Copies of this chain bind each other. A is one copy, B any other.
Amino acid sequence: MTAKTFSGVLVPALTPFDSHLDPDTDALLTHCRWLLDQGADGLAVFGTTSEANSLSLEERMSLLEHLLENGIPADKLMPGTGMCALSETVRLTRHAVEHGCRGVLMLPPFYYKAINDDGLFASYAEVIERVGNAALGVYLYHIPPVAQVGLSLGLIGRLLSAYPDTVVGLKDSSGDWENTSAVLREYPSLATFCGSEVFLLETMRNGGAGSITATGNINAAQIRKLYCDWQKEDAEALQAQITTTRRTYETYATIPALKAVAADFYATPDWRVVRPPLLSLGAGEQQTLVAALADVGFEMGA
């Protein structure tokens, strides 16, 4: 555990847009404040769920600065900084660490495929050495269903050996518990987060650090309750309940669904807006989804 180490429930905050598809900076700030009020242990802003890969470099930097200038604490922030281009990953990572962010969540470069571990090691190594800042804390981001380029156990080990004071954690969004379990077993010093709260109880039982999960945008308090109470006797029931909530909204595409639930909660139809290539849910779908969630006992913010 170092000053860079996060634990608990972190939320890849959704990025609200206005009707012109521009980021709504104030709605983002409001949402981040609400998430921290709900007990979120950190904000993994500019993650996959944040549509970060649909934002320009400048948009990301300017949104991060807006959050910091308006009182979101830097030690709660773990912005995503992994881009396809080495020069951009370096720039974003340096920006985050120079603004005091406690960590960064770093995708591997994801355009070129059939990349081997030597190439991915070189990518992370170049970024870490070019940023050259002892305050940098890197959380490796393994999300092969989306990025396609994943991080093997061997690569994780090599990065950990080479940069033990910098590579401090990992988010496993493989959706494959066998992989998360192997990371936890092989690298107990790494702060390992499951990428879906469906695996939270198993993650905690196996020495994990918590979960960085999309669902935190609407259900952070309940997920955090499981994080705190995982050794109590109602843990299985809590796990079942939060899993049911996720399975219910997952009948839609994740990001549009979460934004529709937020649109209902904030009573702001524009909250449903996503950038292409994603497609927004309509008002009717929003109603149906909120009703389906109510049927399984879930209401955002309740």
Contact = CB atoms under 8 A, between A and B. Distances in A.
Interface string A165-199: 00000000000000000000000000000000000
B53 A84 contact: yes
How many copies of this chain? 2
Contacts of A147: 111
Contacts of A119: 276-279
**Binding site secondary structure of chain A:** loop
Contact of A123 (B48, B149, B276): B276
Given A118-B279, A277-B119, A55 B87 contact: yes
B279 A85 contact: no
Interface residues of A, number: 40
Nearest to A146: B113
A66 interface: no
B279 A126 contact: no
A56 B53 contact: no
Contacts of A108: 277
15 contacts: A21-B86, A48-B112, A53-B112, A54-B85, A54-B111, A56-B85, A56-B88, A56-B91, A59-B87, A109-B277, A112-B277, A113-B145, A113-B148, A116-B279, A148-B148
Contacts of A149: 277
Contacts of A115: 277-278
Contacts of A126: 21, 276
Interface of A: 21, 48, 53-57, 59, 84-88, 91, 108-116, 118-120, 122-123, 126, 145-149, 253, 275-279
B120 A277 contact: yes
A122 B276 contact: yes
Nearest to A87: B56
B55 A278 contact: no
A55 B85 contact: yes
A114 B88 CA distance: 26
A86 B54 contact: yes
A91 B57 CA distance: 12
A119 B148 CA distance: 20
Lowest 9 A-B CB distances belong to which pairs?
A53-B111, A119-B277, A122-B276, A123-B276, A56-B87, A115-B277, A53-B84, A123-B277, A56-B88
